[in-house]
Homo-oligomer: A and B are copies of this chain.
Amino acid sequence: MKTSAIFYHAGCPVCIEAEHQVAEALDSARYDVKIVHLGEQKKEIEAAEAAGVKSVPAIVIDGAPFHINFGAPMSVLKG
């Protein structure tokens, strides 16, 4: 069974670079990579925060949050 990896972003330039360079670098044979745009899928914000995501871009791998550089805090996405 593949490990879950959820990449959260908000379409910002920092997010897009991280998506292209980090999220797409994961081994798809071992990881089930899901990309979530929190600006467009606001109902996913709760799940992201529950996983410990405090800013985007971030990737939650097997339940553990990893913030990659800094694009925007979660608070901006809730507006």
Q: Which residues of A contact B (CB under 8 A)?
A: 3, 5, 17-18, 21-22, 25-31, 59, 61-62, 64-70
Contact = CB atoms under 8 A, between A and B. Distances in A.
A65 B17 CA distance: 10
A31 B25 contact: yes
- Number of copies of this protein chain within its complex: 2
A54 to B, nearest CB: 10
A66 B21 contact: yes
16 contacts: A3-B25, A17-B64, A18-B66, A21-B62, A21-B64, A22-B22, A25-B26, A25-B27, A25-B30, A25-B31, A26-B27, A27-B28, A27-B29, A66-B69, A67-B68, A68-B68
